[in-house]
Amino acid sequence: MTTNPPRKQLGPAPNARRHLPPRLRSILSLGDLEPAARRILPRPIFGYLQGGVEDNVTLQANAAAFRKWMFRTNVLVDVSAREQSRQLMGQTYKAPFGIAPMGLCALFAFDGDVVMARAAEAAGIPYVLSGASLTRMERVAQAAPTCGWFQAYIPGEPEHIEGLLERVDKAGFKTLVVTVDTATLANRENNVRVGFSTPLRPSLRLAWDGMTRPHWLLGTLARTLAQHGMPHFENAGAGRGVPILSRSVVRQFGLRDHLSWQHLALIRQRWRGKLVIKGLISATDVKRAEQAGADGVILSNHGGRQLDGTAPPLLVLPEAAKAKGAMALMLDSGVRRGTDVLKALALGADHVFVGRPMAYAAAIGGQAGVAHAVGLLRDEVHRDMALLGVQRLADLNMEQLVAV
């Protein structure tokens, strides 16, 4: 009598997620992070992180842009040795994505900037510290000595530029990211509606929201005040900036509406490391950045947080790829799935960056939360490469895509 062999189980075993902290066991994708973070963060802080500007047209268009492309798969391809490591500006990273710069992360999670930097370093992916962060750049540089980049909001005064560059260099960062799409503060009406401002103004609404979110109140705010004191904008210039909690709503980031290509020339002259320009959305500016000596550019509309109605980076990616020259071409805004990563690479990107989901992950689970989010996306890329029939990321091109 013959018996059939036991059927091989597909997918994770029922207890495969038991190694995760309880808060992370229900997180199956980056999309699960937002509603989980909403339950933890006070409404003003969550609203600041989640929202875009005005009518959120660009915010919604960023994600929708990825749905304008579908895959044309190749079957019967041996993909058993597929590899997703990526060369980027002379350095090898273990995945084709990184963590985008986000300000105020120490408000979302205790030592938010540090835990994201450590998770990125452990995963071998780039982490970009925001110039609007509340953690001194020197601490973060120590947490990510090989994978850390620094993103600067460059002031329009040459003497302040040189002081900031000197500090970034001494901290140990080898890659400087200059954000250029913030000539003025955006019209973030959602911040007003949820009661958020920078610096934060003390209010009964903020106090009540904090008290009703004990995980955040004790695990983030109280712990931060006890160990680090009142958070300040630490990295806007050569010295310390204003505190995050203040009755005076003044944010010190210099005369950014003065910033021009002439300032970029000064930065290129003074900065010895890799120089990346972030916030471009046209092939013309990509070409100009290449002529100015940039090592790379990040196509970005600031995650829908600056000019509402700006085109999603994915839609301008093909023409930007033709203009990039020898530069690295990167992209952020709207990346949520492994399929998004592969679509961007197929359209000409060398690397992509993910923002909000990583901050949500830090709020939910600290460094373990960020590591889990990174792992989810890395696993999706690995799986999707097999299903697409791709052995190497370098083999991706527009032939694998169909416009819909």
Catalytic residue set: 302
Burial 76-86 (b: 16+ CB within 10 A, else e): eeeeeebebeb
Three-point CA angle 167, 241, 365, nearest 5°: 90
- The CA distance from 97 to 94, in Å, is 9
Instruction: Report long-range pairs for 86-91 (Cβ below 8 Å, ≥24 apart).
Output: 86/350, 86/351, 86/393, 88/126, 88/296, 88/328, 88/330, 88/350, 88/351, 89/175, 89/274, 89/276, 89/295, 89/296, 89/328, 90/274, 91/146
CA atoms within 13 A of residue 286's CA, in its CB half-sphere: 26
Name the residue among 296, 344, 346, 351 with its Cα closest to residue 324. 296
One-letter amino acid for residue 217 of the chain: L
- The CA distance from 290 to 264, in Å, is 12
One-letter amino acid for residue 341 of the chain: V
On the 0-12 / 13-18 / 19+ scale of CB atoms within 10 A, 226 is exposed
Cross-strand partners of 401: 71
